[in-house]
Amino acid sequence: MMSSINLRIVIEEENSHLFKRCIRKLLESTFILRDKDEKLYQFVSRESNRQDISEYLRMIGFDVILEEKTGVCMLTASEEDADTAGLKRANVVTFSTLQYHLLLVLWKVYLENLGYSEGNYVTKGDLIDKMKSYGIQVTRTELNAAFRLFKKYSLIHFNDDEEGEDMKIRLYPSLQFGWDLPQFQTVAREYLKENPEEAGEPEEEVFPEKFEEEEE
């Protein structure tokens, strides 16, 4: 029978392992998702663990935020040290304008699909049709490169062995946090200008909820 001391050592080793995995995951791909990284998300959801992770990250100019409503834990630049804000840009990718256009379409599709219990999915073919309807011109190479990048940063997921228009793409709530706000607003304004039939829709359907709250 395992002694209480040995049990404590095993638990501490497991916690240490999860702590390191959470740090690596956040630095490598920005997000830990409840729907995708269940064990890591459960670990970081505990306030004591999150405080430890936060203290570690602050030493290198970052911090961590948990959005329980959407099940998203994300890396952010530490507010305490403005001089290290550049570190975030060095570690978190800046998307191209075309990729922002694609993200905007993915976000709109995500919003349209809300309410389905079996996850938020779109086929590659339907997504291509949606992009065409918005006048977004993209080559197969550009699209595949964007998909790989979005997958790396836990914005979407798909099976690498699936190809063609029937390929299922899972959309994650982290899509709403994948923006640099000023650049997102610029792209959204261009998008609405190029699509006058969309211009009459309220901006709330386009802009992520989090950013609306920040602007108030």
Domain boundaries, the chain: 4-91, 97-215
Q: Which residue has the tokens 């200008």?
A: 193
Cβ 157 vs Cβ 172: under 8 Å = yes
**Which pTM does this prediction carry?**
0.64
| Integer Cα distance of 108 and 115 in angstroms | 14
90-120 burial, b at 16+ Cβ within 10 Å, e below that, comes to: ebbeebeebbbbbbbbbbbbbbeeeeeeeeb
Look at residue 189 in the predicted model and tell me its pLDDT: 60
The rounded average pLDDT for each run of 10 residues, N- to C-terminus, in the chain (216 residues) is: 52 83 88 91 93 89 87 82 45 73 88 78 92 88 92 90 87 79 56 47 37 37
Look at residue 183 in the predicted model and tell me its pLDDT: 52
Name the phi and psi angles at 75, rounded to 5: -80, 140
188-215 burial, b at 16+ Cβ within 10 Å, e below that, comes to: beebbeeeeeeeeeeeeebbbeeeeeee
Look at residue 191 in the predicted model and tell me its pLDDT: 53
Look at residue 209 in the predicted model and tell me its pLDDT: 39
Name the phi and psi angles at 123, rounded to 5: -80, 155
Rounded alpha-carbon distances, angstroms, from residue 183 to 22, 192, 210: 29, 14, 15
Pairing relationship of beta strands 31-33 and 72-77 according to DSSP bridges: antiparallel
Look at residue 39 in the predicted model and tell me its pLDDT: 93
Look at residue 85 in the predicted model and tell me its pLDDT: 43
Domain 4-91 identical in fold to domain 97-215: yes
Look at residue 164 in the predicted model and tell me its pLDDT: 84
The correct CATH number of 97-215 out of 1.10.238, 1.10.10, 2.30.30, 3.40.50 is 1.10.10
The architecture of the domain spanning 4-91 is Orthogonal Bundle (1.10)
